[in-house]
Amino acid sequence: MLRPRLAALLLLVLFGAVLLEAQRQRFGRRPAAFMQEDDPQTEFAIARWYSDGWVNDGWSHDYPTAEEHILQILKEVSAIHTDRLSYKVVDLASDEIFKYPFSYVSHPGEVLPSDEEIENLREYVERGGFIMLDDFGGQGQGPWEMEAFRDILRRAFPDRDMYRLPEDHELLRLSYQIDDLNMEHPMSGAKSAFYGFNDSKGRLAMVICYANDVGDYWEFIDQPYYKLKPSAEALKLGVNIALYALTH
């Protein structure tokens, strides 16, 4: 009986942290047009990448509520120095991306990056930056969007490819135990696949959440849209990814 009770307590802590802070701060839901103008002054911040090459507004999906919710969770359940507003939209063509060791990219298969942006992507990874790529291929556009994303990787890193993230990877055990990666897209129910991508030294530099929308789980964690278990798994995965990026 102990394990189910602990699991239930964990869920209450995770959900309660978001709900309590939302009531305390009364942030509501910001529109995607909201831009954080000031640089975050915390140890951990999330850079949301933007590019003129995105064919639609997919770069901004779930922004900024997804960031605010996962950052509040990190603040509550870890020793990471962060804050609910520790995020910023950063242009991929700008040197500003190098100020942020952790970046989140939405709809990575729907961008046509310039040569300058490809060079920035390559340099960002080789400098030790970590990228979470999410929200693509889960609603009928899977094969072509995956191939478009792989074309971007080939341009930036012609010497390597992504690989299926093994279920015994350290990232899945770092803070919370994630027993398997058999997750589903929150809206379509498509079976998700998680990939890794390494830098030239063999270090994990990207987590690629294909046919999933982890950010959507984060965004609507305070709403009765999705089931409890996958929502909690998405939060735990986010915490683990952030801790891995900071410690590796």
- Distance, CA of 125 to CA of 107 (rounded, Å): 19
- Listed residue (247, 179, 171, 173) closest to 208, CA to CA: 171
Indicate if the alpha-carbon torsion angle 163, 167, 170, 176 is positive or negative.
positive
Residuewise pLDDT in 10s, the chain (248 residues): 344 444 444 555 566 555 555 544 544 445 445 677 788 999 999 999 999 999 888 899 999 999 999 999 999 999 999 999 999 999 999 999 999 999 999 999 999 999 999 999 999 999 999 999 999 886 656 688 999 999 999 999 999 999 999 999 999 999 999 988 989 888 887 889 999 999 999 999 999 999 999 999 999 998 888 998 899 999 999 999 999 999 98
* pTM of the entire predicted model: 0.88
- Domain of residue 51, CATH code: 3.40.50.12140
Number of domains in the chain: 1
Domain that holds residue 66: 2-247
Cα–Cα distance, 210 to 108 (Å, whole number):
10
